[in-house]
Structure 1
């Protein structure tokens, strides 16, 4: 493997230092410099694996300026590994400007697979995984957060957010208000660490559970929300067949009322389903 003139995107552990690949360690050892969010944080990982490669700070506040300097180094034949404090770089972390500049300059960018808190959490959440949307951090201000959740209210994909401990309660309370008390919510915290917890409850129950113990809001948090399901998806297949048969002979309103009585389901949900089929 020749690391010259290549930018490597290297995921690092999100907690447990053993969660790093042999390939990632090889790259970190061989490159000329490691660009990282916090040199002190990355130093702990490098020290653990006895890696002495020089580091260079690249964070939100200096990335656009430093990207030019790093691209110049790459253009001269140097190799660079990009890491974040934890997980996969660029996923709610710095790196976009550097990668974009490398692409524009024709510099090879090589991504390594590895840890990502969002995917790790989703795999154990018990929510639908065939389609999901990663939304990163919600806005810190109340109105902006409310508006964002309103825009996602009818999103059918599972939703994944990163959230800070100090805002978790407010966000879950907003979820109850916007998406309803019964929407399934999963809180995953301290993934791969000693106090890892993954807890799933309807939104209103989750809010109460979090309020019972301050420790439940501490640490690194991934917040997940089940996708919106139209009322018709909860209707039994037998009820839908009955409605279809009755609808052929009766007005929709009457057919929905009779079907609701037979199957013990909501008349309004049947009526809405019938309208959608017209």
Structure 2
């Protein structure tokens, strides 16, 4: 069986009782990096029986082996933080497990997306989740032009070191629409900023940080 276990985004005490139970009983902890996951488990006083890796470098051959492992063992899949299977390679494993009739269950918990939506000052009934923007400049520029036609809310993620670059691009393409920027969600230095993109950019204190951004609807 494969359990998709949500882990805390910032504050480790936000983990659920059920997540702790699943992690304790799992034969295998499947994670993006043992460094991040072992740190969390140590704080929770959980000793993993075995670690396996699933990340962006995992091959199809790796995924097939992992799916077979899920058929025979009790596996808990975690990401570095938040809910696995969302903007990470977990969905490829889920596909193979379903194809091979392996049960897949979710253990609900922290979600950056739900955290962002809950902080909105506007009611959001529909939104486009763009996820991570392209890294290459030309593809990135084309994507921004395409997004300008979207009237609903747009939710964007990117790597911490592209925080300022992303805001500068939002100023260029969406400065007549308000935005909501959440930085270091659920951490001690969490910051929530809302308003015109140019105002948010001018008020920015971080050069690099984990973030999620919503462009409000027209």
Quote how far apart the aligned CAs of 1:147 are.
1.3
Q: Of 19, 22, 39, which residue of structure 1 is paired with 2:17? A: 22
Pair 1:194-2:188 in alignment = yes
- The correspondence of residues 107-256 of structure 1 with structure 2, limited to 5 A, is 107-179=102-174, 181-210=175-204, 215-227=205-217, 229=218
Q: Judge conservation of contact 1:38–1:85 (CA < 8 Å) in 2.
A: yes
Quote how far apart the aligned CAs of 1:220 are.
1.0
Q: Judge conservation of contact 2:164–2:208 (CA < 8 Å) in 1.
A: no
Q: Judge conservation of contact 2:163–2:208 (CA < 8 Å) in 1.
A: no
Q: Judge conservation of contact 1:128–1:226 (CA < 8 Å) in 2.
A: no
Aligned alpha-carbon RMSD (Å): 1.5
State the TM-score, normalized to the length of structure 2.
0.93
The secondary structure found in structure 2 opposite 1:12 is coil
Structure of higher RCO (CA pairs closer than 8 Å, 6+ residues apart) = 2
**Whole-Å Cα distance in 2 between the matches of residues 80 and 102 of structure 1?**
12
**Whole-Å Cα distance in 2 between the matches of residues 168 and 190 of structure 1?**
11
1:97-122, CA deviations, whole angstroms, 9 ceiling, x for partnerless residues? 21111011011100121111121022
**Whole-Å Cα distance in 1 between the matches of residues 113 and 198 of structure 2?**
23
State the TM-score, normalized to the length of structure 1.
0.74
1:34-80, CA deviations, whole angstroms, 9 ceiling, x for partnerless residues? 100001110011111221122111111025332211222233x3110
Larger Rg: 1
**Unpaired segments ≥5 residues, structure 1:** 1-5, 230-278
- Runs (4+) of structure 1 exceeding 3 A deviation are none
| 1:63–1:88 Cα change, 3 Å | farther
Q: Judge conservation of contact 2:161–2:209 (CA < 8 Å) in 1.
A: no
